[in-house]
Amino acid sequence: MTDQLTGRLLGNDLGILDARAVTGLAALDRIAAARLDGGSMDCGSGLLLLLTRRMRELKAGDGLLVRTEDASVPADLVDWSRLAGHEIAGQTEQDDTGAWHVLVRRGIPADPTTATTTAAPSAAGDPAQAAAEFSTGEATPIGHRLWLYSNFHCNLACDYCCAMSSPAAPPQLFPVELASHVLDEFVRLGGREVYVTGGEPFLHPQIGELVAAATAVAPTTILTNAMVVQRGARRAVLESMDRERVRLQISLDSADPGRHDQCRGKGSHAKAVAGIRTALELGFRVRITATWYADEPAEGASWARLCDEWGIPDEDRLIRPVARQGVATAGEQVTVDSLAPEPTVTASGVWWHPVAVTDPAMQVADRPAPLAPAFDTIRDTVAVQDAARKEGRRHVFRCA
């Protein structure tokens, strides 16, 4: 493999080098158009998205010099380059700092619109998870659905919160004007549905305006614990929302108050049930969501009876696994390889999936707008995953 890497190159617009010259860092550095320090990341722990983002900034033929301290990366870059249509232009031996340097030359960009979303099966679609009573479903085509984090603070501090939300969390409010801008672009790109989540969205001081901006472009679902809308100004905001365009997705982990409260805080079950009843009385379509650890005793039957009592149809019931993200110390391990993408915007950028907005390895862009390049980065990544799957490999890269 090393011979292949170091011996190849390069009668092209990167310059003419012989095999021995290519092994020298100075030579690679001279012809590189850009540099990326991957540190100790491997391709399963964040480097994949970072590489895809940086390569998209280059012209065809330009080289990206990747520094890595992870021994798996030089070999993985060979596979990734081949699948992504790039070329390994040279590599150094391990240097005194323990790092390798690999020069990747950008190939002709593929048409990202040919990518599908079948590359990474969703966690919910895993047969093993289905056996544990988790809901299943098809991956959503990239660009159809947008998740928007309205804020990160919350009245609760659940022990599995993927967003690290709590009353003390920095709010990171999504500005309404920026939301309008992002949503306008989303619908121009073919967007069909919006999910507003947090934190607790009803703590956003302008949640009414923000949701109105979303419903102006697409049907909108608000994920809420339904505990802060019973009275006062927030109740008024809820009552003002469009019943035709707004659905409420309310968390209720169990029919058993003790089990729900164990993860979400004492008294939270009673308030959530009251919130669900209020939402139904106000005429909202309500979806009930339970979040479970895989090894918890199944309580689907009693939970389903409660949903029956409220007249919640099957398509509005969702049981999902805890993701080991945020403050969760157990649950399902999720990576770019294992999660079907669901583009998600926060005030600080675009992310691969809403359960992974505290994971730097899952960040697709460091600004929430424009969306188009972020969607293209995701499509590029999925295209490589698709190509790897066609070769019969479940994972393109070694995972952490």
DSSP label at 59?
A: P
Per CB under 6 A, the segment of 80-88, 120-128, 195-203, 238-246 that binds ligand SF4 is: 195-203
CB of 123 to ligand SF4, least distance (A): 16
Per CB under 6 A, the segment of 34-42, 158-166, 371-379, 385-393 that binds ligand SF4 is: 158-166
| Strand pairing class (220-224; 246-251) | parallel
**Is 142 or 238 the residue whose CB approaches ligand SF4 more closely?**
238
Interface with ligand SF4, residue 346, by CB under 6 A? no
Phi, psi for residue 255 in degrees, rounded to 5: -75, -15
- DSSP labels for 369-383? --SHHHHHHHHHHHH
Per CB under 6 A, the segment of 154-162, 174-182, 313-321, 382-390 that binds ligand SF4 is: 154-162
Three-class SS state of 204: coil
- DSSP labels for 213-244? HHHTTS-EEEEE---S-SSHHHHHHHHHS-TT
Interface with ligand SF4, residue 158, by CB under 6 A? yes
Side chain identity, residue 45 = S
Phi, psi for residue 189 in degrees, rounded to 5: -85, 0
78: part of which helix (H) or strand (E)?
A: helix 72-84
**Is 201 or 368 the residue whose CB approaches ligand SF4 more closely?**
201
**Count of beta carbons in the 10 Å neighbourhood of residue 190:** 11
Interface with ligand SF4, residue 201, by CB under 6 A? no
Select from 200, 253, 332, 337 the one that contacts ligand SF4 (CB under 6 A): 200
Q: Under rule CB under 6 A, which residues in 251-290 are in contact with ligand SF4? A: 251, 264
Give yes or no for a contact between 331 and 133, defined as CB atoms under 8 angstroms apart.
Answer: no
Select from 157, 274, 372, 400 the one that contacts ligand SF4 (CB under 6 A): 157
CB of 116 to ligand SF4, least distance (A): 31
What value, to the nearest 5°, has the Cα angle with vertex 318 and ends 313 and 323?
A: 175
**Is 198 or 343 the residue whose CB approaches ligand SF4 more closely?**
198
Select from 52, 68, 151, 165 the one that contacts ligand SF4 (CB under 6 A): 165
**Is 90 or 321 the residue whose CB approaches ligand SF4 more closely?**
321
195 φψ region: left (φ > 0), alpha (ψ -120 to 50), beta (else): beta
Distance from C-alpha of 223 to C-alpha of 247, rounded to nearest angstrom:
9
Distance from C-alpha of 51 to C-alpha of 302, rounded to nearest angstrom:
47
String of contacts with ligand SF4 for each residue 205-244, x by CB under 6 A: --------------------x-------------------
Interface with ligand SF4, residue 248, by CB under 6 A? no
Per CB under 6 A, the segment of 33-41, 152-160, 273-281, 362-370 that binds ligand SF4 is: 152-160
Select from 28, 64, 124, 154 the one that contacts ligand SF4 (CB under 6 A): 154
**Is 28 or 334 the residue whose CB approaches ligand SF4 more closely?**
334
Interface with ligand SF4, residue 156, by CB under 6 A? yes
User: Residue 192: which of 165, 219, 154 has the closest Cα?
Assistant: 219
Interface with ligand SF4, residue 63, by CB under 6 A? no
Interface with ligand SF4, residue 199, by CB under 6 A? yes
**Is 158 or 237 the residue whose CB approaches ligand SF4 more closely?**
158
Binding residues for ligand SF4, total number by CB under 6 A = 13
String of contacts with ligand SF4 for each residue 90-109, x by CB under 6 A: --------------------
Q: Which two tokens stand for residue 157?
A: 């501090």
Cβ-based burial of 315 (10 A; exposed 0-12, middle 13-18, buried ≥19): exposed
Select from 123, 142, 161, 383 the one that contacts ligand SF4 (CB under 6 A): 161
User: Residue 62: which of 123, 11, 14 has the closest Cα?
Assistant: 14
Give yes or no for a contact between 241 and 210, defined as CB atoms under 8 angstroms apart.
Answer: no
User: Residue 42: which of 326, 333, 335, 390 has the closest Cα?
Assistant: 335
Q: How far is CA 179 from the centre of its chain?
A: 18
Q: Which residues bind ligand SF4 (CB under 6 A)?
A: 154, 156-158, 161, 163, 165, 198-200, 225, 251, 264
